[in-house]
Amino acid sequence: MEYLAILEPLLYHLLYPFFLISKWIAAILLALGAPLVHLGSFVLHGCLWPLRFLAQFETLYIFLGVALLIGIATGTTLHYTSSFLAALMKLESRPQEPPRGRTMASHRVGRTGKLQQKTTPRPSSRIAASPRLADTTSADDFAKLLEREKRSGRRSLLTSTILEEDDSTDGGL
Instruction: List pLDDT tens digits, range 50-95.
Output: 999 999 999 999 999 999 999 999 999 999 999 999 888 888 766 6
Q: What is the mean pLDDT of residues 140-163?
A: 70
Using CA atoms, how far residue 33 sits from 21, 22, 41, 80, 103, in Å, is 18, 16, 12, 65, 78
Q: Report residue 97 CA to chain centroid gap.
A: 34
Reported as a single tens digit per residue, the pLDDT across 104-138 is 777 777 777 777 776 445 555 545 554 545 555 67
Instruction: Give the pLDDT confidence score for residue 52 in this predicted structure.
Output: 92
Q: What is the mean pLDDT of residues 8-34?
A: 91
Out of 4-13, 25-34, 105-114, least confident range: 105-114
Task: Return the exposure string of 2-35: e unless at least 16 CB atoms fall within 10 Å of the residue's CB, then b.
Answer: eeeeeeeeeeeeeeeeeeeeeeeeeeeeeeeeee
User: pTM, whole model, 2 decimals?
Assistant: 0.33
Instruction: Give the pLDDT confidence score for residue 76 in this predicted structure.
Output: 97
